[in-house]
Amino acid sequence: MNQQAYESGKRAYQKGDWLRALTYLDEAKDSGEAFGEIDHLRGNAYMKMGQFDLAAAAYESALSDPAYGKRGALQCNLGRALLAAGRAQEAVGALTAAVSDSDYATPYKAYLALGKAYEQVGDVRNAGIAYRSAAIDESNPAPAVALTSLGGCFMRLNRAVDAVEAYRTALDFTNPLEDQNKIWCDLALAYVAANRMNEAVDAFGKATSDGTYVLSPEAQASYDAARRAVASIGSRKPSETDAFLAAAGYASSYDPLDPTGASGELMPSPEDTGFFSVSEEDLVRQDKIDRKVRRKHRHTGLKIFLVILFLLALIVGGGIFAYVKGYGWPTQQSVAEQLFDAKTQGTDISGLFADGVSESHLQEYSDMVLSGATVEVTGLDRSMTESTVALTATLGSGIEQDYTISMVRDGLGWKISDIEADYRSAIDDTNTDALVEDNTDSSLDADVDSDANGTVDEGSEVTSDQGGTSQDATDDGQDDLEGGSADGTADDSGSPDAADTPDQGSQDTTPAEGTNE
């Protein structure tokens, strides 16, 4: 960049020498160089000289410099240049971009130009909306201009009542030193269109009171018709004004309070929005609220991202916490229940065991598990990598068996590493006591029956209670028999004595009975 030429161009620009300023500014910028400030000044100088296409090209070149900034002002100037060059449709795009820039300090300027661009392309509805936005912009020092243009849009939409309110509000924002005659004339025309002739006559009178404002032929005709209508009100005869209004398209069938208007355009009605019935302070306050809402909306995507990020962090943190505490899927309880279900159904159980379990242990564990049992988990000790499940398996016959199943972590779930069985009697303590009582009663019944038949049951009882003594007596009797037999064999005659026979018989019975007793 040629700094000397740049400084000379700025001095010429400040003096209003636009041609010399352009000459120096063109020299200051190297070929193909993007320098936003120089191009901004060049665009302004071209606008002053009425070379609008060159001005638009200069503003576009300034926008190509991202380091310069001021995009809102450049887009607004570009839109104005395009509008002045007769390129209204392109101007709409540039001005829309200008009002979308939240850093642009004076958006009302872009809104005013945008309203004119919409009017040139025939979009009266959006033109009115743009003028209304310019009017309520708190940075706008003279909202009367925008309100007057808004009233003109209402008139073109055949909404005379709304136009009346717009013009009256414009008068409220002007001071006595400003020229109000044009606004009074427009208000009078709106009164005529709304068939409010007394107010129309008064407004026309104020517009021409100082003699400086000359009514147009159309306005003069309306003024005359309004005065004739006021003069004929006392006679209650149809006036020429009625015919004039009908010829102008303001028939009695038109409802000025219809929010959509006869054209069907959906511009907000003042009766619906309350815009024209509020004070300036209300407008400023509402605009501040709107700005706050727009700022919040600009951060909506970031808020959604932060919420999603927070939820993901919460889910991951919860998952890590559950993993460390020994939780998983499938759970320890479900793995234990699946083991017994697989055993009952006869399906393969190897998939429930850890990889380190051998085939022999797997078969051993399979033999331990009861088939067809109902499982109840009675205890669970879990940690991050190992867990122990205590459960009771109950068969339909009432047999219960306790198990302690050790498990190891397998990914998110669990696999069985060891099974220990705690075997118990199929009959509980209550049934055992009942069985003992039944056996005792049966023994007593047997003793009573034996006594009734004359049998020596005492020997049986003693035999049952004193088994050791009975065995000794039996052994002694056997020894006696063996001794007698030995004596008989030693007899010279080779046969036992006759006297010995009764002794042997007595030895077979009486001594045994005596010993038992």
Q: pLDDT digit of tens for each residue in the chain (517 aa)?
A: 788 998 999 999 999 999 999 999 989 887 777 788 999 999 999 999 999 999 999 999 999 998 888 899 999 999 999 999 999 999 999 999 999 999 999 999 999 999 999 999 999 999 999 999 999 999 999 999 999 999 999 999 999 999 999 999 999 998 766 789 999 999 999 999 999 999 999 999 999 998 899 999 999 999 999 999 888 875 555 556 666 666 666 655 444 444 444 444 444 444 445 555 556 677 677 778 887 777 776 667 777 888 899 999 999 988 898 888 888 888 989 999 999 999 889 898 888 999 888 988 888 888 888 888 899 999 999 899 999 999 998 888 888 889 999 999 998 889 999 999 886 544 444 444 443 344 444 443 434 343 434 433 443 333 334 344 334 433 444 444 334 433 433 344 343 343 343 343 334 433 333 333 3
Q: Give kind and range of the element (H or E) at residue 66.
A: none
CA distance 92 to 190: 29
Joined tokens for residue 231: 């003069």
CA distance 350 to 352: 5
Nearest to 201 by CA among 182, 180, 229: 229
C-beta of residue 122 within 8 angstroms of C-beta of residue 84: no
What is the DSSP code (8-state) at residue 458?
A: H
pTM value is: 0.47
Q: First and final CA of the chain: distance in angstroms?
A: 142
Nearest to 248 by CA among 207, 206, 190, 187: 190
Q: Which pLDDT belongs to residue 29? A: 83
CA distance 246 to 240: 10
Quick check: helix, strand or coil at residue 511?
helix
**Region for residue 23 given its phi and psi (left: phi exceeds 0; alpha: psi -120 to 50; beta: otherwise):** alpha
C-beta of residue 485 within 8 angstroms of C-beta of residue 497: no
Bridge partners of 322, per DSSP, are none
Question: Residue 96 phi/psi, 5° resolution?
Answer: -65, -40
Domain 332-422 is of which CATH architecture? Roll (3.10)
What's the CATH fold of domain 123-297?
A: 1.25.40
Q: Which pLDDT belongs to residue 282? A: 72
Nearest to 230 by CA among 266, 204, 208, 251: 204
- Judge residue 34's burial from the number of C-beta atoms within 10 Å of its C-beta, 0-12 exposed, 13-18 middle, 19 or more buried: middle
C-beta of residue 406 within 8 angstroms of C-beta of residue 386: yes
Joined tokens for residue 485: 């037999």
Cα angle at 191 between 185 and 195, to 5 degrees?
A: 145
C-alpha distance from residue 459 to each of 329, 409, 473, 478, 514 (Å): 70, 68, 12, 18, 10
Residue boundaries of the structural domains of the chain: 123-297, 332-422, 441-516
Q: Which pLDDT belongs to residue 193? A: 94
